[in-house]
Amino acid sequence: MVLGIDLGTTNSLIACLRDGVPTPIPTVHGGYLTPSVVSVDQDDVVLVGEAARERLFTDPLRTAGSFKRLMGSTEEVRLGSRRFRAEDLSALVLRSLKADAEAYLQAPVTEVVISVPAYFNDQQRKATRLAGELAGLTVRRLINEPTAAALLHGIHERDIDSKFLVFDLGGGTFDVSILERFSGVMEVRATGGDSFLGGDDFTEALVQWIGKAAPADARAAADPSYRAALRFAAETAKRELSTHTQWDVEMPRGASRARVTLTLAEYELACARLVERLRAPIERALRDARLRTTDLDEIVLVGGATRMPMVRRLAAQLFGRLPARHPDPDQTIALGAAVAAGLVARDAAFEELVLADVCPHSLGTAVAERDGQGGIMSDLFLPIIERNTVVPASRVRTLFTINDQQTRLRIDIYQGEARLCSKNTHLGGLELSVPPRKAGEVRVDVRLTYDVNGILDVDIDSEEAGVKRNLVIKKLAGEVSDDEIERRRRELAALRIHPRDEDENRLVLERAERLFEQLLGAERERVGDYLKQFTLILERQDPHEIRVARGEFARALDGLERGSPW
């Protein structure tokens, strides 16, 4: 069985097809979402998911979240004495999803489809595949997140040919895709977006606002725990303001607490510029697809941040109608990925649907031109396959020598949209010997062929030079060899991961530690007492007693979290 995975910036989720129905797989804690957070505790034990997320507050220097933003980069994240790349951290999240799925399905899970933002470039896609391999998974396919969402909606709600736009505002990225379903074929017509705009930015706007309304003294403001508390309060307020018109926030100030009331109207005003930034990528995607809003049959909202009324209002305004939403916009992508996994595995339920996808960035070559005044302009980008071309795609452009008696010609392949190659990403290149002739007399055809798996084939053919060369670009900068993958897999395997059967106990303990830091006075003392009692019960190792005590403890913490009396 092939499973679908949404490896999200904030949360991840794994889903399967059960009798043809996409079904989310619960975590060991009983919910569905696994926070994409990793933490290394003082004993060098690695925690993943909910318990790790609690530690964003109590141990922020040894805890990392939002690392999806670093995928494809060489940046390392330091957690305690260890350093991790984004793909290592993602692999740890994937391993946790795999373990949950294996426990739920009672069968080994090895094959998956993983979703990625439509805007991920090849490097980021390669890093995602690598994360899968490091987690011991075979990544059968990567799928664009909006494509996954569209598959879910398309399959369940459309019988007729239609064009629609997927508006996906997650924690860290905004993706827009325009898709067309035609004779049973789902085709991505255009993608656009902003990989640095998401729900986290709305939280950040609230952090700023609460920070101003209830200023802390300089020492507290520099304390990582205080900043984590501020972020936590902002995140809660943001969620509550999706269903309430005002929300009270309490922040510690010295020995007391400051109370601020946030109103929805003020919050929306503070975020007006963020909402405005959602417009341009939509307009660009529509232009690329040569469509007007009136040509669209449906708008689909995806991603947790589309729960915010101001975002839904913008979508309704832009498109002049109420957008479609899945009841749980956090699950849409994983469920859609499970649908895609079914296609990949040739599940009979979806046999007739073929996937088509687009190449998210333009691919081309570097050229030099005479400037007409005796000089040469070099470093110019000549796009060969333009962004939003449906893949697999194959396009050819012909280059000519520029100097008399030129004997060498360099072909460099770039990815990007900038006019100058130096601003784009270099993918590879090669040099040819050419016969010395007059400028323009030697022609070289450069054919680029790009497939669904992101492999770029470069075919170079020159009759005059009598050469045919081929270059397969799968090794982009940052790409790692099989030996390196094996070495890193072994390193990750050697990490001490917190035992799963104790995960629930650990979560309740980490949560209590966080609340102990957040609360004051009698409430704090109660958390302290509960922590002591529960630690003693754990030492007695009676599974029944532990289960009962844990349930009580969690309910008590729930009560505190909601601000109700014990």
Among 41, 168, 180, 201, the one annotated catalytic: 168
Phi and psi angles of residue 402, each rounded to the nearest 5 degrees, phi first: -110, -20
Nearer to ligand AMP, 274 or 509 (CB): 274
Q: Residue 32 is encoded by which pair of tokens?
A: 């569905």
Per CB under 6 A, contacts with ligand AMP among 2-31 are 8-11
Largest CA distance in the chain: 89
Total residues at interface with ligand AMP (CB under 6 A): 19
Residue 562: strand, helix, or coil: coil
145 as an active site residue: the answer is: yes
Tell me the closest approach of the beta carbon of residue 137 to ligand AMP, in angstroms. Answer: 21
Binds ligand AMP by CB under 6 A, chosen from 133, 175, 330, 510 = 330
Among 41, 50, 59, 68, the one annotated catalytic: 68
Tell me the closest approach of the beta carbon of residue 355 to ligand AMP, in angstroms. Answer: 22
Does 36 bind ligand AMP (CB under 6 A)? Our answer is: no
Per CB under 6 A, contacts with ligand AMP among 270-329 are 303-305, 307-308
Q: Residue 216 is encoded by which pair of tokens?
A: 């802390």
Does 170 bind ligand AMP (CB under 6 A)? Our answer is: yes
Distance, in Å, from the CA atom of 484 to the CA atom of 493, rounded to the nearest integer, reads 14
6 as an active site residue: the answer is: yes
Nearer to ligand AMP, 325 or 488 (CB): 325
Taking CA atoms, 82 is separated from 39, 42, 62, 566, in Å, by 11, 12, 9, 40
Among 41, 100, 145, 503, the one annotated catalytic: 145
Nearer to ligand AMP, 27 or 449 (CB): 27
Nearer to ligand AMP, 69 or 85 (CB): 69
Distance, in Å, from the CA atom of 349 to the CA atom of 21, rounded to the nearest integer, reads 9
Nearer to ligand AMP, 309 or 428 (CB): 309
Cβ-closest residue to ligand AMP? 199
Does 238 bind ligand AMP (CB under 6 A)? Our answer is: yes
Per CB under 6 A, contacts with ligand AMP among 185-224 are 198-200
Tell me the closest approach of the beta carbon of residue 198 to ligand AMP, in angstroms. Answer: 6
- The bridge status of strand 363-370 relative to strand 376-385 is antiparallel
Distance, in Å, from the CA atom of 62 to the CA atom of 53, rounded to the nearest integer, reads 11
Distance, in Å, from the CA atom of 322 to the CA atom of 451, rounded to the nearest integer, reads 36
Q: Omega into 392 within 30° of 0, i.e. cis?
A: yes
174: burial class by Cβ within 10 Å (0-12, 13-18, 19+)? buried
Distance, in Å, from the CA atom of 263 to the CA atom of 136, rounded to the nearest integer, reads 47
User: Closest Cα partner for 288 from 176, 363, 181, 129?
Assistant: 176
Nearer to ligand AMP, 175 or 510 (CB): 175
Among 6, 50, 175, 504, the one annotated catalytic: 6
Does 65 bind ligand AMP (CB under 6 A)? Our answer is: no
- The bridge status of strand 111-116 relative to strand 138-144 is parallel
Residues near ligand AMP, by CB under 6 A? 8-11, 170-171, 198-200, 235, 238-239, 242, 303-305, 307-308, 330
Residues with catalytic function: 6, 68, 145, 168
